[in-house]
Amino acid sequence: MSGDLGLWSVLIAVVGGAIRVSTPFLFVSLGETITERSGRINLGLEGTLVFGAMSAYATAVLTGSPWAGVAVAGLAGGAFGLLHGFVCRLPRVNDVAVGIALMLFGTGLAFFFGKAFIQPSAPPLPAIPFGFWSDVPQIQAALRVNVLFLVGAALAVFLWWAFRNTKAGLIVRVVGDSADAARAMGYDVDRVRLFATAAGGVLAGIGGAYLSLYYPGSWNEGISSGQGLMAVALVIFARWNPLACFAAALLFGGAGALGPALQSVGVTQGYYLYYAAPYVLTLALLIATSSPDRALAGAPGELSLSK
């Protein structure tokens, strides 16, 4: 039986938290990686995440099927991405400004349609109990892994491979690094970016479905608390590398679990400081990996951020 695990329970909680909390970070940051690799920034993914959470929850309540909710969230996210991509192909439109507008639009629309769905309970997504080998309930709880987390992990590896080894990956990278070169090769830059932004939207929508249908598994207006924005920043932190996105998402998830876990074992002073841990960590890592000699390594050349 459990007994007193002491500080071990903090480690278990951080591992469990990393698995539980990281999935929305992972999906949004992978989506944003695709978009930014094509040379555009979509800051609106926070709005897409919240709208995905709402539409998934509403669909699951109405149909009784959480997977239908995931599908609808992905479609809704894709529609937001298409809208962003479409507006940005108009001349002299700034993608950052459009993203901020879409962020407010997405959250506002989600709050508007979500009113009726705060009260009802939706069926949650299933989880796989990888902790079956242990008879410690804390470990069993920490290792209950949702399918979407595994999908996200596989997707990270796939995208990392695809950017290097497939034609589609090469086209996205060329468009992102030099629009002129892409045009000279005969590719329609705007269309590639449109599809890349839409793909990013689909992933962010699915991340939202995870929030409302698995963890914390409920719809209310405070559900995301800025996770979509943090995930966009995480892409820069991960240097546009899908594998690093996965690691960074785990890091942020685990760091978020640190505060509550420390309080539960009796480290009760200064919890506000522990809650700031993910951000302090980010700052420290960015400073440690920065260089005065070169620009951000791995940054797509067409990004308005690095131009």
Query: Site for another protein (CB under 8 A): which residue of 268, 293, 294, 295?
Result: 268
φ, ψ of residue 144 in degrees (nearest 5):
-80, 110
Told to check if 178 binds another protein by CB under 8 A, we report no
Name the strand (E) or helix (H) holding 206: helix 189-213
Told to check if 251 binds another protein by CB under 8 A, we report no
**Measured distance CA(76)–CA(179) in Å, rounded:** 29
Q: How far is the CB of 109 from another protein (least distance, A)?
A: 15
Buried b / exposed e along 275-290 (16+ C-beta atoms within 10 A): eebbeebbeeeeeeee
Query: Site for another protein (CB under 8 A): which residue of 166, 263, 290, 304?
Result: 263
Buried b / exposed e along 14-47 (16+ C-beta atoms within 10 A): bbbbbbbbbbbbbbbbbbbbbbbbbbbbbbbbbb
Query: Site for another protein (CB under 8 A): which residue of 90, 119, 165, 307?
Result: 119
Cα-based angle 224, 156, 134 (whole degrees, multiple of 5) = 80
Q: How far is the CB of 278 from another protein (least distance, A)?
A: 12
Query: Site for another protein (CB under 8 A): which residue of 275, 281, 296, 306?
Result: 275
Told to check if 225 binds another protein by CB under 8 A, we report yes
Strands 127-129 and 144-146: antiparallel
Q: How many residues bind another protein (CB under 8 A)?
A: 44
Told to check if 256 binds another protein by CB under 8 A, we report yes
Query: Contact positions toward another protein, by CB under 8 A?
Result: 2, 9, 12-13, 16-17, 20-21, 111, 115, 118-119, 121, 124, 137-138, 141-142, 211, 215-218, 220-225, 227, 256-257, 259-261, 263-266, 268-269, 271-272, 275
